[in-house]
């Protein structure tokens, strides 16, 4: 069987991004640019991927890890020179190599697969992916003969007036027979205005040898858009966002206002869930069926069960089980586990805590580093005092306990099953099962005190 591999160019400096970071590690819709390209490649069945790195190489390595092989381009001397660095990985292999750019996150698995199929069916030595643009400014032009065969690719800066009028452009993405690519790279030269080795020059070498070079025109020209600055980054994000929303809506998710809704690529949402305007869902979040999310909510890398409502709230790296209500204006901080049929009400903050099934935390409460049992009621204004200035400690409230309003639970402390705590208490010691704890001063009334102090206010 033919070997199928990819070489992805990611060595450029990307000066126009004006960033301390490598261009290809900038993210759109939850993924670095380079990972979008890699995902499209792997989806097309490519067995081996070689990444050409150079500028900020350590950042690219950290981003991609051991998913790919690496070749280093010490000096950026053009696209042809970049591919030369991968020759060691191609030697002795018979098959097809796809060459892509690491800053083109919009290219799809479908396009790569169709190009490979076109390339093989036509027995091409090389196939260039092209598009027809109304404004081809800046792109290399595809020059064809009168029969429609590809003659050469001319870079914009090297094109003459007639060539600049051509609308079909080179995407910078190719398929080659591996052996033909290796041989043609040996013959390209850098006698151009930039003194660089251009990969498209390999096409002329192949044509000069009588080998067949084809062009696969894609219908959606947005797929070839490269990212060179923050404006183009935003434009790519908008296109990808629409693709993601469309996919979710076709899968049975209702998105009330797509224009004001942001969902990352790796998010999974169940059927009949409704997403209200102003909602942001990021990371590897999984949301179940029949949920109501939003308006104006943010969920990051969390697991949300079925039938959950999240209104105007934030959930970070946590889980919320079935039929629970969160918000409005609640904040679920990382490492929290919220059970079934729970109410997390308005202005409630939960941090690194477990909340049992059927528990109610209705409003104005802070729960941190705590384990709250099942069917517990935490009244308005309850505070778990988890920090003593040096370390965090744990509070445990067991099943069926009732915590009155404005209670402070000073960690570490345990409230046993079925215990009650009177409103306004500050609890520092264990409360036994079935007990009532009152930790407040007895009320004292001093008659006429306001008059005696001269504090009475006249109407």
Check residue 347 and give left, alpha or beta (phi > 0: left; psi -120 to 50: alpha): left
Task: Name the burial class of residue 158, with classes exposed (0-12), middle (13-18) and buried (19+) by CB atoms within 10 angstroms of its CB.
Answer: middle
**How far, in Å, CA of 37 to CA of 96, rounded?**
18
Whether 3 is a known active-site residue: answer: no
DSSP state at residue 17: G
Task: Name the burial class of residue 389, with classes exposed (0-12), middle (13-18) and buried (19+) by CB atoms within 10 angstroms of its CB.
Answer: exposed
**How far, in Å, CA of 322 to CA of 202, rounded?**
59
Select from 90, 87, 115, 117 the least CA-distant residue to 100.
Answer: 115
CA 31, distance to chain mean position in Å, is 4
Encode burial over 408-418: b for 16+ CB neighbours within 10 A, e otherwise.
Answer: bbbbebbbbee
**How far, in Å, CA of 243 to CA of 423, rounded?**
52
- Which of 26, 119, 363, 456 is catalytic? The answer is 363
Check residue 197 and give left, alpha or beta (phi > 0: left; psi -120 to 50: alpha): beta
Active site residues: 363
């Amino acid at each position: 069987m033919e070997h199928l591999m990819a070489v992805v160019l990611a060595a450029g400096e990307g000066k126009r991004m004006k960033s301390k970071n490598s261009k290809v590690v900038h993210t759109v819709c939850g993924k670095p640019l380079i990972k979008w390209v890699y995902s499209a490649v792997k989806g097309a069945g490519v067995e081996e991927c070689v990444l050409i790195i150079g500028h900020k190489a350590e950042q690219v390595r950290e981003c991609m890890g051991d998913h790919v092989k690496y070749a280093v381009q010490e000096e950026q001397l053009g696209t042809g020179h970049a591919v030369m660095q991968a020759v060691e990985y191609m030697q002795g292999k018979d098959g097809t190599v796809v060459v892509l750019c690491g800053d083109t996150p919009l290219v799809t698995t479908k396009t790569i697969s169709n190009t490979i199929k076109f390339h093989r069916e036509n027995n091409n030595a090389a196939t260039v992916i092209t598009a027809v643009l109304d404004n081809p400014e800046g792109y290399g032009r595809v020059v064809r003969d009168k029969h429609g065969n590809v003659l050469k690719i001319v870079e914009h800066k090297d094109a003459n007036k007639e060539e600049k009028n051509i609308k079909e452009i080179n995407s910078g993405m190719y398929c080659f027979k591996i052996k033909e690519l290796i041989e043609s790279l040996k013959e390209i030269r850098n006698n151009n205005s930039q003194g660089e080795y251009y990969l498209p020059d390999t096409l002329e070498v192949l044509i000069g040898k009588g080998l067949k070079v084809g062009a696969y025109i894609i219908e959606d020209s947005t797929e070839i858009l490269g990212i060179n600055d923050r404006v183009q980054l935003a434009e790519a994000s908008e296109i990808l966002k629409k693709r993601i929303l469309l996919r979710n809506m076709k899968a049975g998710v209702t998105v009330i206002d797509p224009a004001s809704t942001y969902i990352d690529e790796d998010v999974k949402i169940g059927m009949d869930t409704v997403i209200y305007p102003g909602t942001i869902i990021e990371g590897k979040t999984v949301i179940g069926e029949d949920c109501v999310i939003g308006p104006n909510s943010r969920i990051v890398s969390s697991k949300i069960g079925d039938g959950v409502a999240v209104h105007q709230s934030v959930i970070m790296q946590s889980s919320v089980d079935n039929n629970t209500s969160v918000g409005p204006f609640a904040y679920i901080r990382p490492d929290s586990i919220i059970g079934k049929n729970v109410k997390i009400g308005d202005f409630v903050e939960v941090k690194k805590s477990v909340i049992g099934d059927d528990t109610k935390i209705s409003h104005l409460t802070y729960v941190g580093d705590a384990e709250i049992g099942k069917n517990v009621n935490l009244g308005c204004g309850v505070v778990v005092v988890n920090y003593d200035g040096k370390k965090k400690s744990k509070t445990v409230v067991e099943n069926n306990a009732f915590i009155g309003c404005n209670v402070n639970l000073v960690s570490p402390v345990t409230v046993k099953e079925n215990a009650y705590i009177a409103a306004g208490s500050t609890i520092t010691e264990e409360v036994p099962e079935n007990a009532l704890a009152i930790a407040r001063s007895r009320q004292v009334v001093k008659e006429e005190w306001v008059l005696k102090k001269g504090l009475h206010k006249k109407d």
